[in-house]
Amino acid sequence: MQFMLLFSRQGKLRLQKWYVPLSDKEKKKITRELVQTVLARKPKMCSFLEWRDLKIVYKRYASLYFCCAIEDQDNELITLEIIHRYVELLDKYFGSVCELDIIFNFEKAYFILDEFLLGGEAQETSKKNVLKAIEQADLLQEVSTEVYYHHCKATAIGVHHRVFGLSL
């Protein structure tokens, strides 16, 4: 996998992870281009598109688009699976995850992703193990952020976005 982007329906980037070295300028250009392309697609369309010499695999969960770029020979379906697995992990970790969770705890979202994927390859296929690793690492961390997290979740501005539809 070359990179993974999370962005909202409004085209706001929520998370980005690059597994290939690119300059900031290039990253921005790619992001802009892809966000536009993906958002322009109709909901009934398939989740794959060819883009430059890469294949883009994306999936929408509620208001968030998860978008991965893979190489020519890579398996699209397993990439969808990776996306789904990641969403499941987020869901388990945050408990009915919504876009706001990812916005306000974006570093946590990264930590989970990093436990799940490394260098663009799936490193742990067991959900349980990923969550265990995250929880143990969190234990090492000070509690302060946790307090903030609950505080934020309670007082988050506006209505919660719909919880991601997780159909397994």
**Given the rule CB under 8 A, which residues bind other proteins?**
13-19, 21-24, 28, 42, 44-49, 73, 75-78, 80-81, 103-104, 106-107, 110-111, 114-115, 118-119, 121-126, 129, 133, 136-137, 140-142, 148-149, 151-152, 157
Judged by beta carbon, residue 81 or residue 91, the one nearer other proteins is: 81
CB of 7 to other proteins, least distance (A): 10
62 or 152: CB nearest other proteins: 152
Cβ closest to other proteins, residue 62 vs residue 103: 103
Taking alpha carbons only, the member of 166, 146, 159 closest to residue 66 is 166
Q: Which residues pair with 3 in a beta bridge?
A: 18, 69
Considering the complex, state which of residue 96 and residue 141 has its C-beta at the smaller distance from other proteins.
141
Q: How far apart are CA 103 and CA 100, in angstroms?
A: 5
The rounded distance, in Å, linking the Cα atoms of 127 and 24 is: 32
Closest-CA residue to 63 (of 39, 93, 79, 30): 39
DSSP state of 78: H
Q: How far apart are CA 114 and CA 71, in angstroms?
A: 20
Question: Least Å distance between CB 123 and other proteins?
Answer: 5
CB of 163 to other proteins, least distance (A): 20
User: What torsion do the CA atoms of 71, 77, 85, 109 make, to the nearest 10 degrees?
Assistant: 30
d(CA 43, CA 14): 20
Report, in Å, the least distance between residue 168 CB and other proteins: 14
Q: How far is the CB of 162 from other proteins (least distance, A)?
A: 18
Coil, strand or helix: which one is 80?
Answer: helix
Comparing CB distances to other proteins, the nearer of 102 and 164 is 102
